[in-house]
Amino acid sequence: MTTPEPADAGEPTGVAGAAEDAGDAGAAEEPGTTAATGATEPAETTAETVTTAAETRATQPARAAAEPGADAAETGTSEPARAAAEPGASETTRPTAEPAGAAKPVGTTTETGATTVGTGSIEAAGALAPVGDASEGVVEVVERRLHPVTPLRRAWAPVAVLFGWAVHDPDGAQRQLSRLTTTTLLIGLAVIVPAAALYGFCSWWFTHFAVTESELRIRTGLVFRRTAHIRLERIQAIDVTQPLLARVAGVAKLKLDVIGTDKKDELAFLGADEARALRAELLARAAGFAPGTAHEVGEAPARQLLRVPPGVLAVSLVLSGATWGTLAAALVVPPLLWLATESVWTLLAVALPLLGAAGASSVGRFVAEYDWTVAESPDGLRIDHGLLDRAHETVPPGRVQSVRIVEPLLWRRRGWVRVELDVSGSANSLLIPVAPRELAEAVVARVLPGVTVPQHAALSPPPRRARWCVPLWWRGYGLAVTDAVFAARSGLLCRTLALVPHAKVQSVRMTQGPWERARGVADVCVDTGADQTVRARLRDAAEARDLLAAQAERSRTGRRDARPDRWMA
């Protein structure tokens, strides 16, 4: 900032001096110099307050140069006001004189490029914050709250703590409850219930979210504040789920799979329509639509590819080996334990988990996979399923690392398969619970464009000498390498065919144990971006060495020629 000359120089400085000289003549205008930017601006037609050098140093307002890369700390923290001046911004003629040092309104935040210049005041919840360059128009960021029913969900946390303590030490909890009188219990309930309600309300009140041009911001916490900045281009998938009680209340939960995180960020709960609209807006902004038109894009249209009838799903679960295995264990193991120990607690400790596993592998899977529907849309494959809890999931385009086609023994006569997949950073692992093989391969072609699933005849088996390494089971292994994928088969009773596009291979390696070296065979392993390994077992050693070098070259060229991963491509 330029400091004016001392007052005894006899000449006013800056804009104020030019305005005083023009005051006597009434028409003279001379260009002045702005201290903040150094650019010339026309002198104002109204009289400005004349200040001496001493007065200027005592009462001058703070000026912040809002240029890209400017440091916010240079403006100071004790100055009465801050004025953001950008190059090229239009000047506004003030109709009346503004005294030097007059305070300007505070309470907004201006972001220019990567630097934030703040006024030092705290924004109220739900306030509008202008973002962007003033010359291109102001984009308002609105902070929103979750649905008002959310406090009911959060209020269960204190109750869950008490319940966990009672389960952890049931004898101690029973002794403590036996010492309490009826009056004490009523007083305790009168304290616990309002405390739980207050906790739920505060957790809801201090939770906000906002959508900007490039990220989703989630701000939570009363004592320990947490602000999550989720970049839109890092989002893997956006799922909308509705538990049973949420469906009754008309609300939904928005879950986001983000690259580099182990768990999903979520917004729970939003109105059902608001959750779908927010999902569509996030996808539109991630695809490059302007913030003003993102609301108008709406949900992308979808075309149904597959729907699993409930009858087919029920029959497939009956013919599944996992269902019969867990059910047999639940029926056989508890009676044997009772005969051996005659302990009720031991019986319950073993029988209850086995019964739960049997129910989860049969009834639980039927409830979760009921009305399974796969549809195609510009933002990926959409999956809807669930009898009690409805889930709306998305398989993003170009983000699938590998696909597995599972063919259990009892399904082969009917020609049914199960399709699973691995997505980097995503928990979604099931694409089709059960479907005819031809229909499943058509869906796989949508997930992996340009990929044709190799048939069984195209898979080359291991050499016969491999039977000394893995007796009998060596017949289940096979390998096929095409121009698009690395395909490896494993399993004899339950066959699994794993498909890895060459562009998704992160590393290739050859492993060989002592017994395999003696028989002249080796394993070729390819690692994907989803921390999964696909292994071609018991290949000839010379073939494995050639395959190692060829696969490394195919992966390099595949990544070079791969299409970019984009939402709404």
Check: CB of residue 147 under 8 Å from CB of residue 270. yes
pLDDT of res. 295:
66
Non-local CB neighbours of 462 within 8 Å, separated by 6+ positions: 474, 477, 478, 521, 537, 538, 539, 540
- Both tokens of 291, joined, read 């913030």
Which pair of tokens denotes residue 370? 């009921």
* Tens of pLDDT, residues 434-460: 999 999 999 999 888 888 999 989 999
| Alpha-helical regions (H) of 430-512 | 437-447
For residues 386 and 448, give the distance between their C-alpha atoms in angstroms, rounded to a whole number: 26
More confident residue, 139 or 229: 229
Tell me what pLDDT residue 237 has. 77
Binned at pLDDT 50, 70 and 90, residue 425 comes out as low
pTM: 0.66
Q: Give the burial class of 321: count Cβ atoms within 10 A of its Cβ; 0-12 exposed, 13-18 middle, 19 or more buried.
A: middle
Q: pLDDT per residue over 451-510, tens digit each?
A: 899 998 999 999 999 999 999 899 999 999 999 999 999 999 999 999 999 999 999 999
CA 396 to chain centre: 12
Quote the distance between the C-alpha of residue 473 and its chain's center: 41
Q: What is the pLDDT, as a whole number, of residue 286?
A: 73
Question: d(Cα 547, Cα 167) in Å, to the nearest integer?
Answer: 56
SS3 552: helix
Q: How confident is the model at residue 11 (pLDDT cuts 50, 70, 90)?
A: very low
Contact 233, 256 (CB under 8 A): no
Mean pLDDT of 392-398: 81
State the pLDDT confidence band at 212, using cuts at 50, 70 and 90. Answer: confident
pLDDT of residue 61: 37
The answer on pLDDT for 196 being more than 60 is yes
pLDDT-based confidence at 194, cuts 50/70/90?
A: confident
φ and ψ at residue 481, rounded to 5 degrees? -120, 120
H or E element that contains 153: helix 150-154
Write out pLDDT tens, residues 70-126.
333 333 333 433 333 343 333 333 333 343 334 343 333 333 333 333 333 333 333
Specify the pairing of strand 62-65 against strand 82-85: parallel
> Taking a C-beta distance cutoff of 8 angstroms, is the pair 37, 85 a contact?
yes
93 sits in the region (left: phi over 0; alpha: psi -120 to 50; else beta) called: beta
Work out the angle at residue 509's Cα, subtended by the Cα atoms of residues 507 and 513, and round it to the nearest 5 degrees: 155
Q: Report the 3 state secondary structure along 179-197.
A: HCCHHHHHHHHHHHHHHHH
Whose CA is closest to 398, among 300, 529, 486, 552?
Answer: 529
- The two beta strands, 373-377 and 303-307, are antiparallel
DSSP assignment, residue 460? B
**261 burial class (0-12, 13-18, 19+ CB within 10 angstroms)?**
middle
| CA distance linking residue 126 with residue 268, whole number of Å | 18
Q: Residue 331: what pLDDT?
A: 86
Residue 443, pLDDT score: 93
Half-sphere exposure at residue 417, Cβ-oriented, CA atoms within 13 angstroms: 22
Per-residue confidence (pLDDT) for residue 156, from 0 to 100:
65
- Please give the DSSP secondary-structure letter assigned to residue 363: I
- Residue whose C-alpha is closest to residue 387's, from 370, 375, 365: 370
CA distances from residue 131 to 16, 80, 250, 390, 427 in whole angstroms, order as listed: 32, 23, 33, 37, 34
Closest CA to 53 of 1, 105, 103, 123: 1
